[in-house]
C-alpha cells in the first residue's frame, strides 16, 4: 500500500464496509456530505466525527495508514483555520499575541470549516479505500440509470470518474519518483525565492504530463484490444444486490442524520 495518498487508492479487505453494496456506500456518502453542512453545534459535530472515525475503524484499514494518507490535505486544513483566524474579525476579542487580536467568532468559524473539510475528505476517501474501481463504476451507472432516457452517456461518465479516482494515487506516486530523481540531480524545490521554486517545478511537470498521457494511451489501447465499445450491450459478471446488512447500515445512518439534525442549535 502506498501511504502517500489514500484518495483513489483501493485496499482489499473482508470488513463489513468492504462487503457492503457499493450503491449503499455512495448513497451514505452523498447524504453525509449534505448533513455535514447542516451541523452547527458541538453535539452535531461530535456525532458526525464519531461516526466518521467509527466507520474508518470498521474498515480494518490501519488508522496510521489513513492518517499518513491524508498528509497532503493537512496543509489545506490548517491553512483554512489560520485564514479565518487572521482575516475574520467577528465577535469578542479572546486574547492578543504581539498586539494582534484573536476573535471568538473567528476561532469558531475557522475550527468549524476545518473540521468540515477534514470530515468530508476522510469519509469520501473511505469509498475508494473499500470499493474497487469496477464496483464504483457499476454503482454510479446504476444510480444514474434514469438519465439514460435523456440520452445521457451514463456508462461513459461513470467509467471516467472511476478511472480518474484510480489515477490520483498513481500520478502522486509518479510525481514523487520524478521529484526524487530531480533532487538527486541537484534540483532544489524547497529553498530560494518564489520565482526559483516555480522554475524548479517545471522540470517536474513536463515528465509528469508525458507519463500521464502515456498511461492514458496504454489504457485506451488495452481497452480497445479487449473489445471495449462503450456501455451499449455490455453485461456484468457481478450483479449488484442489496442485502440485509445494507438496509441495516442505511437505517443506522438515518438515525445518525436524525440525531445530527435534532442537535442543531
- Tens-place pLDDT, residues 24-44: 999 999 999 999 988 888 899
CA distance 47 to 199: 46
Q: What are the beta bridge partners of residue 93? A: 103
List, for the chain, all residue ranges whose pLDDT scores fall below the cut of 70: 1-5, 8, 91-92, 94-95, 97-99, 187-194, 196-197, 230-236, 265
Q: What is the pLDDT of residue 91?
A: 67
pLDDT tens figures, 188-204: 666 666 676 677 777 77
Joined together, the cell numbers standing for residue 183 give: 533532487
pTM: 0.76
Total count of residues recorded for the chain: 265
Amino acid at each position: 500500500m502506498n501511504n502517500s495518498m489514500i484518495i483513489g487508492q483501493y485496499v482489499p479487505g473482508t470488513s463489513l464496509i468492504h462487503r457492503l453494496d457499493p450503491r449503499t456506500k455512495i448513497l451514505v456518502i452523498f447524504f453525509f456530505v449534505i448533513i455535514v453542512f447542516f451541523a452547527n453545534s458541538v453535539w452535531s459535530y461530535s456525532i458526525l466525527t464519531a461516526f466518521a472515525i467509527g466507520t474508518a475503524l470498521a474498515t480494518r484499514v490501519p488508522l496510521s495508514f489513513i492518517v499518513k494518507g491524508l498528509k497532503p490535505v493537512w496543509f489545506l486544513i490548517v491553512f483554512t483555520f489560520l485564514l479565518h483566524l487572521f482575516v475574520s474579525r467577528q465577535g469578542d476579542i479572546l486574547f492578543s499575541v504581539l498586539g494582534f487580536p484573536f476573535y471568538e467568532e473567528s476561532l469558531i468559524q475557522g475550527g468549524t470549516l476545518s473540521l468540515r473539510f477534514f470530515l468530508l475528505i476522510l469519509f469520501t476517501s473511505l469509498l475508494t479505500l473499500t470499493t474497487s474501481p469496477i464496483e464504483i463504476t457499476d454503482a454510479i451507472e446504476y444510480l444514474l440509470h434514469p438519465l439514460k432516457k435523456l440520452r445521457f452517456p451514463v456508462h461513459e461518465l461513470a467509467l471516467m470518474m472511476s478511472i480518474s479516482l484510480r489515477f490520483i494515487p498513481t500520478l502522486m506516486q509518479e510525481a514523487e519518483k520524478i521529484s526524487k530523481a530531480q533532487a538527486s540531480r541537484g534540483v532544489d524545490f524547497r529553498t530560494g525565492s518564489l520565482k526559483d521554486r516555480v522554475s524548479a517545478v517545471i522540470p517536474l511537470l513536463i515528465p509528469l504530463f508525458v507519463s500521464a498521457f502515456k498511461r492514458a494511451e496504454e489504457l485506451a489501447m488495452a481497452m480497445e484490444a479487449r473489445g471495449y465499445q462503450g456501455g451499449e450491450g455490455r453485461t456484468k459478471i457481478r450483479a449488484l444486490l442489496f442485502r440485509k446488512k445494507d438496509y441495516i447500515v442505511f437505517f443506522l445512518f438515518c438515525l445518525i442524520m436524525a440525531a445530527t439534525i435534532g442537535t442543531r442549535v
